[in-house]
């Protein structure tokens, strides 16, 4: 659930009318609900009660410092995929011993920064990376804590761009090579083998893929023990979906499916939820510029664009789009909701049935907390939107709208001779 609701036909973020925010901040902007964020973390964490576990928030979903600080205060660790994300964690005072570093392309500088910070473990995804971590650790006179990420070779039934557990994915070590990878790692004195990791994708709404991945990694843990390789951590990744249109299982059901095949292994369980924490805790607010009607099509042109929220065009993703003020609905129309960017792919919805809005009306694009602002860009030299968090009746701007000076920071004008 979330804390965006209508009161007297006005959409509220907790105790604040979104229309009031739009008057103060102007559109477009992202607004997050602190109450929703707290609830989502608490419900997810409590689903694993009774199990030695650590919830490492996958911060690639939404990485604003204030939100990271909130999760850290509730006991969260972090799943990172870049040195920039590591620096964000350190900036808000996160415990490095609760940070897991994933990703297939870590540089020497990133590996060194992670080791210097003293993070919990590095999830290694290839043989060259295994040796690169050992080399960097050797130069630093460190012993690097590593986990090998296993690709379990299964189809999680999600969009191909966010499916990471199938055989032809770039992620993880193939099942057929896991044992030899661990044997090789155990022979490298600069490495401390502490765990095994897997992650099969995102926005998964069925439990069977999680259970199957659990069975496969449990078998690997058994073989490693027989070979004398003892682990401390079992990182089962994330991937639980949220209700854009579909109805995914509850975190409690997810936890039962995930834990059943690995029960009795005696390892600390690490999970990496991202979208399920923040997706429905955020809304993108935009204003209608024009209603355009051609002989074949109707368009609602808004001031938000694909540079603000790219999910509809990148993933063919569905987002509910609702009026901020629903007191005076127009006639029902079928329209494309599009932005001003100079691309045919700049749309939020195709052939969407809706109450026709008037020019100047506010629309709320729901479930925009995950992979919204973090994937935004300055395409068409558009400044990125501000981020706002509401906590009860309190409003905090946690990222200012970018200015023109922000857009050109770092650029240099040089005088080039004409041809």
Q: Listing from the earlier edge strand, what are the strands of the sheet with 10-13? A: 4-7, 10-13, 16-17
Q: What are the backbone dihedrals phi and psi of residue 390, each rounded to the nearest 5 degrees, phi first?
A: -110, 135
The single residue of 49, 187, 296, 342 carrying the catalytic annotation is 342
Q: What are 365's two structure tokens?
A: 């694009």
Helix (H, G, I), strand (E, B) or coil at 219: helix
Render 244-256 in DSSP notation, one character per residue: SSS-PPPHHHHHH
Q: Which residues contact 299 (CB under 8 A, 6 or more apart)?
A: 290, 291, 292, 293, 335, 336, 337, 338
Of 324, 250, 298, 242, residue with least CA distance to 275: 242
Is 342 a residue of the active site? yes
Of 63, 24, 89, 143, residue with least CA distance to 373: 63
Q: How far is CA 290 from the centre of its chain?
A: 32
Alpha-carbon dihedral angle through residues 344, 350, 351, 357, given to the nearest 10 degrees: -90
The answer to whether 376 and 310 have CB atoms below 8 angstroms apart is yes
* Maximal CA-CA distance, the chain: 74
Active centre residues (catalytic): 342
């Amino acid at each position: 659930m979330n804390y965006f609701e209508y009161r007297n036909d006005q959409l509220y973020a907790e105790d604040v009318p979104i229309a009031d925010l739009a008057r103060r901040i102007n559109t477009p902007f992202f607004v997050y609900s602190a109450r929703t964020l707290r609830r989502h973390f608490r419900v997810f964490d409590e689903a694993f009660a009774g199990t030695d576990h650590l919830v490492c928030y996958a911060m690639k979903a939404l990485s604003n410092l204030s939100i990271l600080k909130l999760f850290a205060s509730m006991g969260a660790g972090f799943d990172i995929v870049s040195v920039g994300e590591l620096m964000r964690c350190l900036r808000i005072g996160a415990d490095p011993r609760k940070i897991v570093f994933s990703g297939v392309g870590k540089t020497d500088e990133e590996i060194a920064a992670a080791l210097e910070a003293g993070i919990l473990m590095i999830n290694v995804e290839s043989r060259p990376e295994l040796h690169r971590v050992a080399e960097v650790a050797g130069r630093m006179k460190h012993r690097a804590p590593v986990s090998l990420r296993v690709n379990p070779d299964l189809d999680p039934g999600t969009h191909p761009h966010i499916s990471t557990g199938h055989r032809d994915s770039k992620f993880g070590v193939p099942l057929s090579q896991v044992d030899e990878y661990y044997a090789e790692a155990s022979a490298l004195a600069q490495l401390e083998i502490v765990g095994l990791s897997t992650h099969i994708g995102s926005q998964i709404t069925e439990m069977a893929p999680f259970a199957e991945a659990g069975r496969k990694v449990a078998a690997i843990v058994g073989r490693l023990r027989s070979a004398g390789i003892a682990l401390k951590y079992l990182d089962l990744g994330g991937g639980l979906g949220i209700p854009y249109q579909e109805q995914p299982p509850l975190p409690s059901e997810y936890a039962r499916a995930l834990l059943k095949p690995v029960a009795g292994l005696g390892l600390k369980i690490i999970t990496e939820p991202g979208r399920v924490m923040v997706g429905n805790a955020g809304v993108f607010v935009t204003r209608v510029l024009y209603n355009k009607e051609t002989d074949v099509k109707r368009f609602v042109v808004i001031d938000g664009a694909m540079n603000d929220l790219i999910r509809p065009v990148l993933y063919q993703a569905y987002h509910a789009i609702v009026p901020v003020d629903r007191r005076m609905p127009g006639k029902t129309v079928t329209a494309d909701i599009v932005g001003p960017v100079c691309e045919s792919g700049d749309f939020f919805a195709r052939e969407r049935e809706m109450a026709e809005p008037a020019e100047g009306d506010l629309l709320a694009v729901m479930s925009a907390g995950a992979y919204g602002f973090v994937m935004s860009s300055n395409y068409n030299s558009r400044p990125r939107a501000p981020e706002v968090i509401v906590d009860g009746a309190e409003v905090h701007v946690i990222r200012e709208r970018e200015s023109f000076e922000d857009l050109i920071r770092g650029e240099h004008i040089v005088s080039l001779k004409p041809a």
